[in-house]
Homo-oligomer: A and B are copies of this chain.
Amino acid sequence: MNTPTSRAVTLDDVARAAGVSRATASRVLGGYGFASVDARERVGAAADRLGYVPNTTARALVRGAGVRLVVAVSGTDATVLDDPYVDRLVSAVARVCAPHGVGVALEWLPLDAPAGLRRLGDDRSVCGVLLVNTTSRALDAVPAGLRGRVVSIGTGSPAVPSFDVDNAAGAGAVLRHLYAGGRRRIAMVTGPRWLSCAERSVTAYQGLMRAAGLPARLVNGDFTAARGGRAALEVLSRWPDIDAIYAASDATALGVIAALRGRGIRVPHDVAVGGFDDIPYAAVSSPALTTATHPVARIATAAATAVLDGRPVLPVTAFPSRLVARESA
């Protein structure tokens, strides 16, 4: 923390310049209570002239409000923070928080380590917490002090309002597109299996395959491109006659395509590939990726707004996902 040099313009300065008491100046600037037209004008003019900017810190202190919103990403280690998805999330949240005078902090929250959550709950400078990719067990264990100022992204639980894309719908849209294109031997590269949002896609895949009378062929991934490449090779070795691979994320799909290309397999001619997320690079990959949208910024915005407003929200908000048919499938 850095200590600035020159003295700031305070409410007292404004009040003095306007010839009123601090209380009146606060009322005028805060827009509450009564104030004569005369007082309103004088205070407004003085504030403009002096360049008064209210001190958010002092305001938060007296109001008992927090000044920080913590984005807490769960996972087995801190590398979960190195993720374009998290980047987008944080960036969108930071944008929503700025006009509220709230700042965003990004932390890694070890899985099943309730101490971290308790600390956040006891910290009065924290106005809210966005739990990302946690487990429903962790959500059930949210301390009472945090209730009402915590929401979850990617994981549902009755204890905490949650926001996420409609994973089942997105996965279903891509899988049906694959099926409509005549593909019948469809494998899936999953996300991390402990993650409930990833698991919803898997469930959708299994349900659809069963309904179509086709066998489910699962290989575990972790949403990354590198792991996607390895998973693709595993798919090929276990089921050489495969004609489509559905990847649980676009990054995974790009890794899959790169690996297939390395084996001389043509996409989509020999094997079609579908993804999920519609990241910016999906449109310019070769071949352009068929995928389903994942409105990360909208989800983050809604989640942050819910915390900031503190109004009760629906227990579960699922954002629609839309098929984007391109070349890869």
Contact = CB atoms under 8 A, between A and B. Distances in A.
Given A57-B124, A88-B87, A2 B66 contact: yes
Give the size category of A's interface with B.
35 or more
A32 to B, nearest CB: 15
Interface in A271-285: 279-281, 283-285
A88 B81 CA distance: 10
Interface stretch (A22-30, A100-108, A173-181, A184-192): A100-108
A1 interface: yes
Interface string A37-78: 000000000000001110111101101111111110000000
Contacts of A288: 258
Copies of this chain present = 2
A257 B280 contact: no
Contacts of A81: 91, 95
Contact of A105 (B63, B82, B98): B98
A61 B8 CA distance: 13
Contact of A2 (B57, B65, B118): B65
Nearest to A309: B2
B280 A251 contact: yes
A229 interface: yes
Nearest to A149: B2
A19 interface: no
Interface in A293-329: 297, 307-310
B3 A64 contact: yes
Contacts of A261: 286
Contact of A254 (B124, B225, B285): B285
A145 interface: yes
Nearest to A10: B124
A145 B309 CA distance: 32
Nearest to A4: B149
Contact of A91 (B51, B91, B145, B308): B91
A87 to B, nearest CB: 4
B4 A124 contact: yes
A308 B286 CA distance: 43
Contacts of A257: 284, 286
